[in-house]
Amino acid sequence: DARVTQTPRHKVTEMGQEVTMRCQPILGHNTVFWYRQTMMQGLELLAYFRNRAPLDDSGMPKDRFSAEMPDATLATLKIQPSEPRDSAVYFCASGLDSPYEQYFGPGTRLTVT
């Protein structure tokens, strides 16, 4: 049963600290998406990769957020420095060849105090 995996599942950190979230897309998928979910804003797209190249990161605050794909099996989302307003659930999703059918991971619940 192929699934997207995310680590850690939960992260509590203090304001100003660096946070790194990791995602392993489904083997063979070549598109990866990072989303943030909050009660107020719902699901928001942060970044989108195809074949490891960033295609769209317009939804991501550039001054503190960065997303990379060091290889085809790993995507990372970093926040430095973290702020309380970054508290949310961050989801990674992967797909094959298109943005159409996306399969989500279980999410990383981030709390910044």
- Site residues (vs other proteins, CB under 8 A): 4, 33, 41-45, 48, 55-56, 59, 91, 93, 99-107
If the CB atoms of residues 76 and 103 are measured against other proteins, the closer one turns out to be 103
The residues, ordered by sequence, that sit 6+ positions from 104 with a Cβ below 8 Å of its Cβ are: 4, 35, 91, 92, 93
The rounded radius of gyration (Å) of the Cα atoms in the chain is 13
If the CB atoms of residues 74 and 81 are measured against other proteins, the closer one turns out to be 74
CB of 36 to other proteins, least distance (A): 11
> Do 98 and 31 form a contact (C-beta atoms < 8 A)?
yes
If the CB atoms of residues 83 and 101 are measured against other proteins, the closer one turns out to be 101
